Amino acid sequence: MFDEFSRVTVIGGGLAGVESAWQIAQRGIRVCLYEMRPARMTPAHTTDRLAELVCSNSLGADQPDKAPGLLKQEMRLLGSLVLACAEQAAVPAGSALAVDREHFAQRVTEQITAHPLITVIRQEVTRIPDGVTVIASGPLTSDALAAEIARLAGTDHLYFWDAIAPIVTVDSIDFNIAFRASRYGGEADGDYINCPMTRAEYEAFVEALLTAETATLRDFELRDERFFEGCLPIEVLARRGKDALAFGPLRPVGLRDPRTGKRPYAVVQLRQDNVAGTLYNMVGFQTNLKFPEQDRVFRLIPGLQNAEFVRYGQMHRNTFINAPVLLAPTLRLKPEIDPRPIFFAGQIVGVEGYAGNAATGLLAGINAARALRGQPLVTLPPTTMLGALCHYVTHADPKHFQPMKANFGILPPLAQPPRDKRLRGAAYAERALRDLRAAIEAQGILSDLAMPVAQ
């Protein structure tokens, strides 16, 4: 075992944890990466692999003029392991970056375990060590560690719910009804499978959805405020109005049913989930319905009447800290709360989305390495997407703090925005990447890569 003051401890082997560990080790510092699986499993994970994706298999849009795509561009500039592995495990998803879950997790696990400065320790952490530490334990933080964090922070935890989408086999989809197409594209080369609905079919589906039996949530009531807005269960969203789904995840915009040549009233989309193309997940179908009810209700969707479900949807509790009270934009716990160099990263800090989780892990890793060496910590410009995310979660109103995903609304306004609103994303991206390159140079963010091992 390494002396705790000559290495960094990273708690959690998810996206944020592996990215933190990689960034630290790439700077010549030993890392102890703790992951409690498989000794202790979570309600959502099924394997012992690092960076296992339990919800969607998509990391979101990859175009640089879109907010999630800009975040990925910034991560590439900063040398992200997660993005490199995602690109190696990519599956077709239109303009988004989606991955084969198993291939992706296997690739990350191989890279981490092969690094000579990273030691992976398979056991639960119940006490925060005294040395430099990154807590990236994720939304399913164990009860013991959550209690330790609560004692450390002196504040109550906040909770919301996240979801696992159902997955079906492609061979069980009826392609006499379903068709392949991306929005505004042709069916011949479409990356999505679309199940079109007439108005009558849609209304029958919604009625069945609203009357279906939901699973009992153990310690929480089923109320909208318990869910992050971007991850509402489909049955909760349906209760907002009869056309809430048709204008939400089932919106048919940009699609035409090849059988009629017309736009359907509503469309259920399925996205490829593995490289082989044998599995597809139901986009936007996070749900708390009981498994038999999912089997019954989802078969009302045209094209899925004979679907083979290899996994049903499931809701699980997520934990995040009150970051505006506890953290600095460097992601370090404020010294007045605890003088030890403790950093937080990932969904536990209140960022949403795979890329956001990994990106905060990247910054926490850079700063943990710097803290060990006594170097100034990095604060990224708020004009960058990662800098804006970190600024938001550390400056939001603590009383109404909710998780935030990458979006242009959290960036400072452009000095001279283009008149054509369609060009504003590109303008935000140009400014962000310019400012990030300047920050990398001015703060020497990449200059300490491959330094000798810290003694």
- Residue 5: how many CB atoms within 10 A of its CB? 11
Q: Specify whether 29 is located in the same domain as 93.
A: yes
What is the model's pLDDT at position 410? 87
pLDDT cut 90: percent of the chain above it: 67
What is the model's pLDDT at position 316? 66
Q: How confident is the model at residue 455 (pLDDT cuts 50, 70, 90)?
A: very low
CATH number for the domain harbouring residue 135: 3.50.50.60
**Higher-scoring residue by pLDDT: 208, 183:** 208
Domain span including residue 245: 164-317
* Lowest-pLDDT range of 153-157, 203-207, 266-270, 283-287: 153-157
**Within a domain: residue 2?**
no
Q: What is the pLDDT of residues 85-138, one digit of tens each?
A: 999 999 999 999 999 999 999 999 999 999 999 999 999 999 999 999 999 998
Q: Specify whether 173 is located in the same domain as 135.
A: no
- Residue 115 DSSP SS3: coil
What is the model's pLDDT at position 222? 40
**Higher-scoring residue by pLDDT: 178, 319:** 178
Q: How confident is the model at residue 277 (pLDDT cuts 50, 70, 90)?
A: confident
Q: Specify whether 389 is located in the same domain as 280.
A: no
Identify any residues that bridge with 411 across adjacent strands, giving them in sequence order. none
Q: Specify whether 298 is located in the same domain as 333.
A: no
- CB-based contact 246:268 (threshold 8 Å): no
The C-alpha atoms of residue 71 and residue 51 are separated, in whole angstroms, by 19
What is the model's pLDDT at position 219? 44
Q: Specify whether 263 is located in the same domain as 363.
A: no
For the stretch 273-277, contacts whose Cβ atoms lie closer than 8 Å and that sit 24 or more positions apart, written own/partner, are 273/57, 273/91, 273/100, 273/101, 273/167, 274/57, 274/91, 274/100, 274/101, 274/102, 274/103, 275/89, 275/91, 275/100, 275/103, 276/100, 277/91, 277/170
- CB-based contact 309:96 (threshold 8 Å): no
Identify any residues that bridge with 309 across adjacent strands, giving them in sequence order. 168
**Higher-scoring residue by pLDDT: 276, 201:** 201
pLDDT cut 70: percent of the chain above it: 89
What is the model's pLDDT at position 303? 98
| C-alpha dihedral sign at 239, 160, 21, 333 | positive
Question: Which of 317, 346, 362 represents a domain boundary (last residue)?
Answer: 317
Q: What is the pLDDT of residues 18-32, one digit of tens each?
A: 999 999 999 999 999
Output the DSSP codes for 218-252: SSS---GGGB-GGG--HHHHHTT-TTTTTTTTT--
CA distances from 324 to 266, 268, 341, 347, 390 (A): 40, 38, 18, 14, 10
Tokens representing residue 117 in the block:
């400065």
Question: Which of 317, 341, 360 represents a domain boundary (last residue)?
Answer: 317
CA 64 centroid distance within chain? 18
Question: Which of 282, 317, 352 represents a domain boundary (last residue)?
Answer: 317
Give the number of domains in the chain: 2
Q: Specify whether 152 is located in the same domain as 170.
A: no
Q: What is the pLDDT of residues 33-92, one digit of tens each?
A: 999 987 776 666 678 899 999 878 999 999 999 999 999 999 999 999 999 999 999 999
What is the model's pLDDT at position 97? 97
What is the model's pLDDT at position 400? 65
CATH number for the domain harbouring residue 291: 2.40.30.260
What is the model's pLDDT at position 48? 84
pLDDT of 159 over the 80 cut:
no
Q: How confident is the model at residue 157 (pLDDT cuts 50, 70, 90)?
A: low
**Higher-scoring residue by pLDDT: 353, 158:** 353
| C-alpha dihedral sign at 429, 435, 438, 442 | negative
